[in-house]
Structure 1
Amino acid sequence: MPNVLITGSNRGLGLEWCRQYAATGWRVFATCRFPAQAEELQQLEIEHNALTIHRLDVTDSIQIDALARELADHPIDLLINNAGVYFEKYIQPEQDIDYAAWSHTFCVNTMSALRVSRAFLDHLRHSQKRLIVAISSHMGSIAEIESPGSYYYRSSKAALNATMKGFSLELRPQQIGVLLLHPGWVQTRMGGPDAPLTTQESVKGMRALVDAFSLADSGRFFRYDGSEIPW
């Protein structure tokens, strides 16, 4: 049974990753900051014996290291760095830039992906799939910037892309892959109700890319539909 570890699993895309992998027979380690409040995730745990919920704030190195020790005996075939924030979604454009919020966005969207990935490298080395996925966004593509604003989110995702691209080169000799994925505009709390994609459609598309992954794709940046995104 392959194992997957997913961050930000309590709602939206993270919850759907958990649902689809649990339904296809994977062992799922689902993480979120507040498990006691994650009612839909708790229901999934009841429905699937191979899904377990673990507390994890991806900005907390103590919690990350503690979870790595807790799962020390479990190889991780697939690590999905899904946790993310988009503070500008909920503020007015004319508001002053909140540099503390910008800094926190970097902590969650950029630094945590590398921090979590490094903590679980031994788990990945002992697995069959050996793949790290980072959920990015086309908004992190400098080539696709066509409007002002969303500076925190855009810059954090561009930095995530650069970080994980470099990390892919570091890991290639160890046969560990890194895949950067844009899930599309999805009907989540972040994407809003007018988004054209359901979480089911988005995750199904991204799972197909995970299934088809080879080391030649490591460090590349794809949309959920398989089209490559320019940097």
Structure 2
Amino acid sequence: MPNRQALILGASRGLGLVLARELTRRGWRVIATMRQDAAELRASADASNGRLTVESLEMTSPGQLAALRERLAGRRLDLLFVNAAIDRGDLPIGEVPTGMFTEVMITNALSPLRALETLRDLVAPGGTVAVMSSEQGSVSRNTEPGYELYKASKAALNQLMRSYATRHADDGQTKLLIDPGHNRTRLGGPGAPLTAQESIPAVADVLEAQAGAPGLRFLDRHGEIVPW
């Protein structure tokens, strides 16, 4: 499929940056957003012969989401991918300050769904809307202690995505939650077993293979179902 076009929210570094590069390498035209100026993303765009372009976006701002929607009016996306998450450490939930709880939930759960609602009409029928989730959001697999707030935020994200899929069941768009595995990023930490260069090509394979599939799926980087 020539001239496939993707919009990736949150591509200044880590998994989002590698995904932008990987899709560009595969021949996609990619629009990638950054919250602050990102030299690596800018350099990748400069070297892409126009296939990768950059937009500024603070995804937690409804006003900036609406402004991005206006700037992209008339575009038809084959993929809208939301990659944004923060982690504020390994505190038991009883020790989490209210402000920290609110910040993580807004960034990891509320804002991705606001982004989908704001931008979904740019996605063509048969296109894909996808959000980077995590196995950490699986309730049934939550059998080890730790990172309670992050886990809760990803579980909330997954639940909100199910509500989104229910409301928009007839729009003809593929809907995906993606677990990329535990990667050595700023979020995943230096001890993680995977690099983004190892996991993201597999994620891109899943995105391409699932294009056109109906309904919502929660999948890992191998295309296997992650239990809710």
How far does residue 182 in structure 1 lie from its aligned partner after superposition?
0.5
What residue number does 1:207 align with?
204
Matches within 5 A, 1:69-108: 69-88=70-89, 96-108=95-107
Aligned sequence identity (%): 34
What residue number does 2:51 align with?
50
Matches within 5 A, 1:26-41: 26-35=28-37, 38-41=38-41
Matches within 5 A, 1:96-175: 96-124=95-123, 127=124, 129-175=126-172
Structure 1 window deviating more from structure 2 (57-66 vs 204-213): it is 204-213
Q: 2:182 aligns with which of 178, 181, 185?
A: 185
Aligned residues: 225
The residue identity in structure 2 corresponding to 1:30 is A
The structure carrying a bigger strand percent of its residues is: 2
| Alpha-carbon distance in 1 for matches of 2:214, 2:195 | 26
Deviations 1:86-121 (A, max 9, x none): 1116xx669931221111111111111111111112
The residue identity in structure 2 corresponding to 1:201 is E
| Alpha-carbon distance in 2 for matches of 1:210, 1:162 | 20
How far does residue 149 in structure 1 lie from its aligned partner after superposition?
3.0
Gaps of 5+ in 1: none
| Alpha-carbon distance in 2 for matches of 1:128, 1:43 | 32
How far does residue 151 in structure 1 lie from its aligned partner after superposition?
2.0
How far does residue 60 in structure 1 lie from its aligned partner after superposition?
0.1
The structure carrying a bigger helix percent of its residues is: 1
Deviations 1:169-201 (A, max 9, x none): 222211012101101011111112222211022
The residue identity in structure 2 corresponding to 1:221 is F
Deviations 1:137-191 (A, max 9, x none): 1111111112233222111100111111121222221101210110101111111
| Alpha-carbon distance in 2 for matches of 1:76, 1:87 | 33
What residue number does 2:21 align with?
19
| Alpha-carbon distance in 2 for matches of 1:217, 1:72 | 26
Aligned residue for 1:174, secondary structure, equals: coil
Checking the alignment, whether the CA contact within 8 Å between 2:92 and 2:148 is kept in structure 1 is no
Aligned residue for 2:224, secondary structure, equals: coil
TM-score by length of 2: 0.93
Q: Which of structure 1's runs of 4+ aligned residues deviate more than 4 A?
A: 92-95, 214-217
TM-score by length of 1: 0.91
Distance 1:94 1:61, change over 3 A: closer
